[in-house]
Amino acid sequence: MSNHLKFYIDGAWVDPITPATLDVINPATEEPYTKISVGNADDVNRAVAAAKAAFPSYTKTTKAERLAFLERLLEVYNARYEDIAQAVTQEMGAPLSFARAAQAWAGQVHLEATIKALREYEFEHARGKTRMVKEGIGVVGLITPWNWPLNQIVCKVAPALAAGCTMVLKPSEIAPISGIVFAEIVDAIGLPKGVFNLVNGDGPSVGQVIASHPDVDMVSFTGSTRAGIIVAKSAADTVKRVAQELGGKSANIILPDADLADAVTQGVGACFGNSGQSCDAPTRMFVPAAAHAQALAVAKAAAETHKVGDPNAEDTVLGPVVSQVQYDKIQRLIKSGIDEGATLVTGGLGRPDGLNRGYYVRPTIFGDVKHEMTISREEIFGPVLSILPYESEDEAIAKANDTVYGLAAYVQSKDLAHAREVARELRAGTVNINYPDWDTHSAFGGYKQSGNGREYADWGIHDFLELKSIVGYGE
């Protein structure tokens, strides 16, 4: 029986206090495929009360007991892997192959990383005669986005469980079904009642209520910078900790000695992955001015290999973007690039040929992009790449850093020592050299308006802990 119209509170699937529903749209068809219930302050109060009641006993569990819960969570997650992938394809339009290989996989590998980190984590140590003790911060509110739903749910839930916290999760109402599947997974592992709770709903009715709730000790939010500001303001009156992973406009500096064809081709793929809906996507590609024309030709050829279409088709590379709102925003920004004089290399306005419904975007490359253009400043969140020529390395670094964001950056060079030097100059939370594999044991988070706090492995556990000094404890 479907739990789509239920919330998970105090160890049980329950009906909302006041019935209200929202259609969940399949972005490939623009049609509703299911409904969820949407909550309000009363539902949040019930979930927070359950989490608050569960905290005193759960936070006293041993590391071994929490490890057992996480290991069981991974076991059940793996058993439900295909259900997760199917849910992500339906709710956000990710090609099924990508949903399996990346979206569902992300939750799996972050669970593995958290388990490894918890095994090695020390919650106490002596400093002279003072005992330094790290303990769970309390009840935490977890607000997650639609673009990488399992990645962000696991990156919050797993370390919160590891730290000894209890929680209320609000998945995105745009892509909520994978979150419901995840709650079913949690329900199967035998956690004490009230440790994990899920309430669906929108930002104003549920997210802001969680953020402002006096019995929530911390809120961890991933989403847009605009929404993050609202969350932070809502949390301010109760002086709770706020951890945020927000927007990005990541620079990709291709240095003159790099293999241009390879660097540009991989850069296009990195920008377009997940239909461009990744906060750390390398959306600003800086290339040497002398190689600009060649870079445009390579980028055009690379972009045109990205087949857009039915997420269930085996040869589809890019599915639709998630919603009409996102589609309209991307179209507006593509038009701004054209109107402001950038060179449209490929792609452009409207759907790809042969697609007359669904939120499909044409993979788009702009060249001759000026640093001050809108497409170089605003986060587009679609398969749109801006290529900016530069005359000197100092110019590229200065323009890369001249943004309100600071989530990620990328450097390409055959000279690793030189690439490392450039990486140190970039003001971003993660700098990727020569397109490395995803490292789930690194620290992920941003500088400036890309947020605060860090996720992944032990870094994530750390964010859910308070530090207590017991002075006079003795040796």
Does the annotation count 245 as an active-site position? yes
**Out of 245, 271, 379, 455, which one is annotated catalytic?**
245
Residue located via tokens 């329900």: 187
Longest dimension (CA), the chain: 74
**Out of 155, 165, 271, 279, which one is annotated catalytic?**
279
Give the number of C-alpha atoms closer than 13 A to the C-alpha of residue 168, restricted to the C-beta side. 33
- Sheet containing 251-254: which strands, arranged edge to edge? 343-346, 364-367, 384-390, 284-288, 251-254, 408-412, 430-433
Torsion sign, CA atoms 15, 17, 19, 21: negative
Does the annotation count 279 as an active-site position? yes
Please list the active-site residues: 245, 279
